[in-house]
């Protein structure tokens, strides 16, 4: 008893990790109520917690104790994005068997962004297109990361390009800006604009004009495709990706099989001669 009292009076980092008896039934009841009041589905909870949907199913079934880090991400996201149910966050942590530290949870949540799957999917598609524009075609993500040696791992870059639901730290999104040669803060602005219902363009660091015009492609063919405003954006992106893929394949073929030199027509049965 004295040990528990000492822990509760101690630093937040110690309090947060302190285990107490868990109450699976209470945890399931609280989580179900939070999901109902905040209109959250299992996939929404998974996205906020940075885990998979099957793990959320196990949370609801009470099969095992939720991981501390995942549950802390979830409750922190509730306090930031869903204040109407944030009052249950500390109790949810306790029902899972953790002595919570609300101030630490909020501080961590404020350095992490939670985005809906559709926004992350489109963001990942834009990153893939940007990588291809930087001369790393389909299937070259690992080489792209290896050559540039960014502050994020290949696994994280792959997760970003695949649009995987996850609670991304702001530092990770800033590192993605550097890796893909984007304007500082471009990833956050792009994702925030998507969530707001806008139709943004990914800001490229070296493609902004003197008056802050939107980014433009250096390749005139790509620019012409992008300016086909009568096309749906997904169609435009698809055409650009197809164009870049064909261009990369053509360059690869030429590198391995250079064309034969042209020969001038032979006269009077003489041997053909090189043109020029």
In the block, residue with structure tokens 């101690």: 10
Residue-level pLDDT at 148? 87
Band (pLDDT 50/70/90 cuts) for residue 233 is low
> pLDDT averaged over the chain?
75
CATH 1.10.260.40-classified regions of the chain: 7-110
Q: Give the pLDDT mean for 257-268.
A: 53
The Cα–Cα gap between 59 and 24 comes to 9
For residue 228, what pLDDT is reported?
62
Alpha helices in the chain (DSSP H): 2-9, 12-17, 24-37, 42-49, 53-61, 68-81, 89-95, 102-109, 117-133, 141-148, 154-161, 170-179, 186-195, 220-226, 233-256
More confident residue, 235 or 27: 27
Query: Which residues lie closer than 8 Å to 219 by C-beta, 6 or more apart?
Result: 133
pLDDT at 267 exceeding the cut of 80: no
How much is the pLDDT for 213?
53
- Cα 175 to Cα 70, 157, 171: the distances in Å are 22, 10, 6
Percent of the chain with pLDDT over 70: 70
pLDDT (tens digit per residue) in 39-79: 888 888 887 887 888 889 889 887 778 888 888 888 877 87
Q: Is pLDDT at 231 greater than 80 in this prediction?
A: no
Tell me the fold of 7-110: 434 Repressor (Amino-terminal Domain) (1.10.260)
Q: Does residue 195 register a pLDDT over 50?
A: yes
Length of the chain: 276
Give the CA dihedral 213, 202, 48, 9, nearest 10 degrees. -60
Quick one: pLDDT at residue 157? 92
User: pLDDT at position 145, please?
Assistant: 92
pLDDT 10s digits, 110-169 = 466 778 888 899 999 999 999 988 888 877 899 999 998 888 889 889 999 998 877 788
Average pLDDT over residues 91-117: 68
Say what the pLDDT of residue 249 is: 75
Q: Higher-confidence residue: 87 or 124?
A: 124
What average pLDDT does the segment 30-45 reach?
Answer: 88
pLDDT at 135: 84
- pLDDT: is 240 or 199 the higher one? 199
């Amino acid at each position: 008893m004295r040990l528990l009292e000492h822990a509760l009076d101690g630093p937040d980092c110690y309090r947060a990790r302190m285990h107490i008896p868990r109450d699976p039934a209470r945890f399931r009841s609280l989580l179900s109520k939070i999901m109902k009041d905040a209109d959250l589905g299992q996939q929404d909870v998974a996205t906020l917690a940075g885990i998979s949907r099957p793990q959320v199913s196990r949370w609801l079934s009470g099969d095992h104790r939720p991981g501390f880090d995942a549950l802390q991400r979830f409750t922190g996201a509730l306090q930031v994005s869903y204040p109407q149910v944030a009052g249950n966050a500390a109790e949810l942590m306790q029902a899972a068997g953790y002595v919570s530290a609300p101030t630490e949870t909020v501080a961590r949540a404020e350095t992490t962004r939670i985005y809906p799957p559709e926004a992350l999917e489109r963001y990942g598609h834009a990153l893939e297109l940007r990588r291809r524009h930087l001369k790393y075609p389909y299937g070259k993500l690992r080489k792209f990361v290896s050559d540039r040696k960014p502050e994020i791992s290949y696994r994280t870059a792959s997760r970003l390009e695949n649009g995987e639901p996850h609670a991304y730290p702001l530092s990770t999104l800033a590192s993605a800006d550097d890796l893909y040669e984007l304007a500082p803060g471009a990833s956050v602005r792009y994702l925030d604009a998507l969530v707001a219902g806008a139709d943004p363009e990914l800001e490229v660091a070296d493609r902004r004009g003197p008056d802050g015009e939107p980014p433009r492609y250096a390749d005139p063919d790509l620019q012409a495709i992008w300016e086909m405003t009568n096309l749906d954006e997904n169609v435009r992106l698809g055409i650009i990706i197809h164009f870049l893929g064909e261009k990369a394949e053509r360059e690869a073929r030429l590198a391995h099989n250079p064309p034969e030199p042209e020969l001038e027509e032979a006269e009077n049965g003489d041997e053909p001669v090189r043109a020029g």
